[in-house]
Amino acid sequence: MTTRKHLIAGNWKMNGTQASTTEFFNSLNPADFCTQSADYLICPPATCLHTAQDAISGQKLPIATGSQTMDYHESGAYTGELSTDMILETGATHAIIGHSERRQYYNETDDTVSQKVEAAINAGLIPIACVGETLDERDAGQADTIVTTQTQHALSRVPKGTCPSKLVIAYEPVWAIGTGKTCDSAEANRVCGVIRATVARLLGDDVANGVRILYGGSVKPGNAAELFGLPDIDGGLIGGASLKATDYTDIAKATAGLTQTACSV
């Protein structure tokens, strides 16, 4: 029997300065974070990664940091990109890969996502591979097909037997990001189950039972406990609510005492 800890991951997107980053972490109380039931992560803008690390260390907070994107090349003429070594040098442990906004605005494809996931794992970064359908795709009855296909591509370069703690997948229904809409909790859990079954087919039951699958569609303090209490949702990739220290803290508190016990898929 495998027990999975929740992961409460904040994606600040293009928000925050070094000053506001310091203020955010200085306002947090380490006692509000239950490390027995969850891990905690904030992905600030790249310019704030060092600042976040300094503030976290100063406050003795049990929070890791991650990048919002990365390049799969080790170095070279790729203006504006971040290599895995650059990210690791800041002390970050994770990298978000294939977020719907990266796919929509910056031409991320299933192929580049798969290359980035491979590069992250090889470098020792934990990729958070994002998958999810648009409203048109959901209305057309294609949600399961889309998330299955995207998951297959994201994991196509990941070898069987990979330690599940080295990989995170986030289900983000695109139509529920930043819109205030939330996928029905039972449906969100069902789709996360589809993703887990896909992982099992590709990488085996042990990896599928151990990998953390996050929900990423308008998670808020008011719905966090309900969502995270479901068997196939192992935490959240949280946007707007992670920008406010009080909201992030309330979401963290909602996971206290929750653990996921995984049965065979």
Active site residues: 99, 172
Chain centroid to CA 210: how far?
15
Query: And the tokens for 34?
Result: 């239950």
Q: Which of 79, 48, 78 is nearest to 66 (CA)?
A: 48
Strand duo 168-171 + 38-43: pairing: unpaired
Residue 5's nearest CA partner among 157, 139, 165 is 165
Residue 35 CB neighbours (<10 A)? 11
Q: Token pair for residue 30?
A: 């380490």
Strands 63-67 and 168-171: unpaired
**DSSP-based three-state secondary structure for 178:** coil
